[in-house]
Chains A and B, each alone.
Chain A
């Protein structure tokens, strides 16, 4: 069986030779993972899709910049995505798009919920849980959010994450340790009774962030 990483390198070589099908195959292999990375970083679906698009456009512009000796194609693409994310963050999308983010996320969960189990209390709880973790991850500093997104959510090896973040493996581990501690604390705080939490959210959150009414 062919090693996926080696196959990726071969596809990049074909792409350098002008093979458009190789580009399509690379997108098929890595597009979803890059989208997940964008979502895990806290972007709205639209922003995350823009990020994936811009990542591929930049990659296609000059695929010869990829050096197989320095790491995997996936790591290289994540690296570009990370820089795209930095650009998005610098543009300050969060301030203007935060309402859209929360609303988007809730709409997605509600849609999934209605598709999967329209009347299920469990599904509703799961949607709340996902929302809570998403909020906790989004509240982390960017350097911690990156390692949680890549190590815990994407389950990439530390070496790959170190390549993506361009730092030693020890740094990845220490950041992950701090990120997990902060995340655990944040999730503990969030595990308050639902009624209290709902009142708290209703009192503090802007209208777009308010949770939809759920059946009791």
Chain B
């Protein structure tokens, strides 16, 4: 490896000492002081320009628009939430509302696939499009249907009656009770 030449020599050292005596002139000091003042003032102006009244208008308008948009979104979200059925209601809906009637031995209702009860969710006072009721019945209209004491020759049926929220009603299915 090449060894670094040994300098500064006495001559270079003398030149270095001569340079070290150099000081900025009073003019340069003054120019720098002016530059610092100017820079300080510019910074101050820049900081003030950031909140220039001319820029406040558009910024305020943008802020208002943002607040209004956010408010509208929150209001719409809230109203949709109010109109949707609560989760517990939705859980109950597929079951027959008559199933819990005291003294009634009806089985829990399982809606047929083709007539799945769908919660409407919105814009309806009635929480469903339709409800299906299961009614115990027989073919003899002169006798009352009794689940506790069926007659020997009596054949009883489950009659699924669909009642829509527009008031229409139709029989969906009839199945014998013992099947």
| Interfacial residues, chain A to chain B (CB-CB below 8 A) | 18, 20, 23-24, 27, 31-32, 35-36, 39-40, 45, 49, 52-53, 56-57, 60-61, 112, 126, 129-130, 132-134, 137, 148, 152-153, 155, 173, 176-177, 180-181, 183-184, 187
How many chain-B residues does the 8 Å CB contact rule pick out? 34
Chain A interface helix/strand/loop/mixed? helix
- When the two chains form their complex, are residues B31 and A32 in contact, meaning their CB atoms are under 8 A apart? no
Q: Are B14 and A184 in contact (CB under 8 A)?
A: no
Chain B residues with CB below 8 A from A134, complex form: 15
**Residues on the A chain within 8 Å of B4, using CB:** 173, 176-177, 180
Partner of B16 from the list A23, A153, A176 (CB cut-off 8 Å) is A153
Collect the chain B residues with CB atoms within 8 Å of residue A31's CB: 24, 28-29, 32
Q: List 6 A-B contacts (CB under 8 A).
A: A18-B44, A40-B19, A56-B36, A60-B36, A133-B15, A187-B9
Task: Encode contact with A along B152-178: 1 for CB under 8 Å, 0 otherwise.
Answer: 000000000000000000000000000
Number of inter-chain CB pairs below 8 Å: 99
**Pair A57/B12 contact, Cβ less than 8 Å:** no
CA distance A132 to B2 in the complex (A): 28
Which residue in A49, A56, A129, A181 is a CB contact (below 8 Å) of B25? A49
Whole-angstrom distance between the Cβ of A16 and the nearest chain B Cβ? 10
Say how far B26's CB is from chain A's closest CB, in angstroms: 11
Chain B residues with Cβ below 8 Å from A187 are 9, 11
Q: Is B43 an interface residue (CB 8 A)?
A: yes
Q: Say yes or no: is B104 at the interface (Cβ < 8 Å to chain A).
A: no
Inter-chain contacts of A49 with B (CB < 8 A): 24-25, 27-28, 31
